């Protein structure tokens, strides 16, 4: 029987929806996942207090990938275990890159990256440490979070980062005072409210500060709908302020708007802070104010200014993103049959609601990031809609007869044998996150 066979790199939201669509249209999807599990940013990009959101997402991805017409190939990084050129040499009808945005966008200051883990951390490393350092088999780096750290950012992910810093430093202080902190309960109730409920004095610690180059009203926390009226735009601006003010109150953090970093402060071979310059204006009229520089000293700087795709040998780059000929279809420049989908195309590593109605966005973001009501179904529905035209293009050519699929089958079965893979459900249960 002749069937289309599509390679999908990455098995999280975008990848699992694309795989499901391929299978539903009679094709075979071969999903190459770099990790043991396909959960992507849901597992390693969101702090661990999002437990209900995380479990719901695990179930949804499992439901998508547990199909006889989907071949899940775990622990197989393209560019690491299988080269991209070797993947292209196989007779797939198409290759869909849904491998996400896992590389922290560099802080654009000369020489600053010489001080990574010496006064400087990036968002992805911090969140992965926070999520997994308590696990018995954790073998990654261990960090000490000092009071008074600063975060450079402004989006939803940077809010999670500054919350981590505050929760950890407050928990450490509570423990030093002879009490037992409950970090997850502190996140749920708010730090001061939890201390009051438990009869524990609120510790006096130097609070972390989030620095953003624009004002609080311009933070990318909620977006107005297309063709928004002036009243709707103003309502969204107010919603952004409400979100940030609630974060400041509940999690004991500080916020400094209209500050852009312009130079590192280095002392004794360590990053000791940053030089910031004030900004003025809005939108495209934002500009730096000459002579407004201020030195901000801090024991730790965390950069949270976005994520980009990991470079892979053989995939053309344009700046820090993959080089796409068509940003609507995701078609790769100079590579017929290769498409991007999801965060690998947009360069966005955050997870957010797809809602556009102004009233719903306001309530939804407050619920999503300050409680546990993230609309997983909406997120997958949006990913599925984006995947439909890409999958349609992938299935346009002539299908492959069984003998033509032999090289693909040999690669897949070879990896399965090497890994001891015996089916998606059994593998998922054996590798369930802790």
Tell me the per-residue pLDDT of 201-230, one tens digit each, with 9 for 90 and over: 999 999 999 999 999 999 988 777 778 899
Q: 280-318, pLDDT tens digit by residue? A: 998 889 999 999 999 999 999 999 999 889 899 999 999
Quote the pLDDT of residue 329: 78
pTM (2 d.p.):
0.84
Same domain as 274, residue 406: no
The parent domain of residue 150 ranges over: 106-305
pLDDT at 382: 84
Residue 155 · residue 306 · CB < 8 Å = yes
- Domain match, 42 and 111 both: no
Domain boundary among 248, 273, 305: 305
User: Quick one: 205 and 248 in the same domain?
Assistant: yes
Q: Is 364 a member of any domain? A: no
Exposure class string for 6-15: b at 16+ Cβ within 10 A, else e: bbbbbbbbbb
Q: By percentage, how much of the chain surpasses pLDDT 70?
A: 93
Contact 367, 421 (CB under 8 A): no
Number of H helices, E strands in the chain: 14, 20
Q: What is the mean pLDDT of residues 361-367?
A: 39
Shared domain for 412 and 291, answered yes or no, is no
Whether residue 410 is predicted with pLDDT greater than 90 in this model: the reply is yes
**Contact yes or no for 177/203 (Cβ under 8 A):** yes
Convert the pLDDT of each residue in 172-202 to its tens digit: 999 999 999 999 999 999 999 999 999 999 9
Residue 363 in domain: no
Query: Does the pLDDT at position 366 exceed 60?
Result: no
The pLDDT of residue 394 is above 70: yes
Q: What is the pLDDT of residue 375?
A: 54
Task: State the CATH number of the domain containing residue 145.
Answer: 3.50.50.60
CATH number at residue 328: 3.40.50.720
pLDDT of residue 348: 55
Q: Between vectors from CA 81 to CA 75 and to CA 84, what angle results, nearest 5°? A: 115
Give yes or no for a contact between 376 and 55, defined as CB atoms under 8 angstroms apart: no
pLDDT surpassing 90 at residue 241: yes
24 and 116 in a single domain? The answer is no
Local confidence band at 389 (pLDDT 50, 70, 90 cut-offs): very high
Task: Give yes or no: residues 256 and 118 share one domain.
Answer: yes
Say yes or no: 235 and 201 in one domain. yes
Residues 272 and 248 in one domain: yes
Task: With H, G, I as helix, E, B as strand and everything else as coil, classify residue 196.
Answer: helix
Angle between helical axes of 156-176 and 230-251 (0-180°, round to 10):
20
**Does 357 fall in a domain?**
no
Q: How high is the pLDDT of residue 360?
A: 33
**Cβ neighbours for 223, distance < 8 A, ≥ 6 positions apart:** 236, 356, 361
CA distances to 19, 21, 38, 153, 394 from 399, rounded to whole Å, are 16, 16, 27, 47, 10
Asked whether residue 160 falls in the same domain as residue 295, the answer is: yes
Number of domains in the chain: 2
Asked whether the beta carbons of 73 and 412 are under 8 A apart, the reply is: yes
Question: Does residue 369 lie in a domain region?
Answer: no
Average pLDDT, the chain: 90
Do 205 and 342 sit in the same domain of this protein?
A: no
Tell me the pairing of strands 94-97 and 338-340: parallel
Same domain, 301 and 320: no
Residue 213 counted as domain residue = yes
Contacts of 24 (CB under 8 A, 6+ apart): none
3-state secondary structure of 118: coil
CA separation (Å) from 215 to 101, 109, 231? 26, 22, 19
Q: Any idea what DSSP says for residue 399?
A: P
Residue 359 included in any domain: no
Q: Tell me the mean pLDDT in the region 119-143.
A: 92
Local structure of residue 224 (DSSP, 8 states) = P
Both tokens of 65, joined, read 């990938």
Q: What is the 3-state secondary structure (H, E, C) of 132-157?
A: HCCCCCCCCCCCCCCCCCEEECCCHH
Are 164 and 268 part of one and the same domain? Answer: yes
- Tell me if 360 is assigned to some domain: no
Banded model confidence at residue 46, pLDDT cuts 50, 70, 90: confident
Instruction: Note whether residue 361 is domain-resident.
Output: no
End-to-end CA distance of the chain: 42
């Amino acid at each position: 029987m002749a069937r289309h066979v599509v390679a999908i790199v990455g098995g999280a939201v975008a990848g699992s929806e694309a795989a499901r669509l391929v299978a539903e249209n009679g094709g075979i999807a071969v999903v190459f996942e770099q990790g043991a599990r396909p959960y992507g940013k849901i597992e390693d990009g969101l702090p661990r207090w999002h437990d209900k959101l995380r479990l719901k997402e695990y179930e949804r991805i499992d439901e998508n990938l547990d199909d006889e017409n989907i071949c899940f190939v775990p622990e197989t990084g393209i560019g690491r275990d299988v080269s991209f050129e070797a993947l292209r040499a196989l007779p797939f009808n198409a290759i869909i890159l849904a491998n996400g945005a896992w590389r922290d966008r560099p802080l654009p200051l000369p020489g600053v990256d010489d001080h990574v883990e010496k006064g400087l951390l990036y968002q992805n490393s911090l969140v992965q440490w926070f999520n997994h350092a308590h696990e018995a088999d954790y073998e990654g780096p261990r960090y000490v979070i000092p009071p008074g750290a600063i975060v450079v950012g402004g989006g939803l992910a940077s809010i999670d980062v500054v919350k981590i810093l505050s929760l950890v430093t407050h928990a450490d202080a509570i423990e030093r005072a002879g009490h037992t902190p409950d970090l997850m309960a502190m996140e749920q109730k708010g730090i001061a409210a939890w201390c009051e409920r438990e009869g524990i004095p609120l510790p006096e610690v130097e609070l972390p500060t989030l620095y953003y180059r624009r004002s609080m009203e311009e933070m990318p926390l909620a977006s107005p709908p297309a063709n928004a009226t002036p009243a709707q735009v103003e309502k969204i601006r107010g919603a952004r302020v409400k979100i940030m003010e609630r974060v400041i109150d509940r999690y004991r953090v500080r916020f400094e708007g209209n500050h852009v970093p312009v130079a590192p402060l280095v002392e004794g071979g360590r990053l000791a802070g940053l030089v910031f310059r004030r900004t003025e204006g809005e939108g495209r009229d934002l500009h730096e104010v000459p002579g407004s520089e201020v030195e901000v000293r801090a024991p730790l700087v965390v950069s949270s200014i976005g994520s980009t795709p990991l470079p892979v040998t053989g995939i053309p780059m344009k700046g820090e993103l993959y080089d796409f000929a068509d940003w609507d279809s995701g078609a790769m420049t100079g590579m017929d049959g290769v498409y991007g989908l999801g965060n690998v195309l947009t360069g966005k590593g955050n997870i957010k609601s797809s809602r556009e109605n102004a009233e719903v966005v306001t309530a939804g973001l407050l619920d999503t990031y300050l409680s546990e009501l993230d609309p997983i179904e909406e997120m997958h529905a949006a990913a599925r809609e984006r995947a439909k035209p890409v999958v349609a293009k992938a299935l346009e050519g002539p299908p492959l007869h069984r003998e033509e699929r032999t090289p693909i089958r040999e690669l897949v079965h070879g990896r399965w044998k090497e890994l001891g893979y015996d089916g998606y459900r059994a593998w998922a249960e054996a590798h369930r996150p802790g």
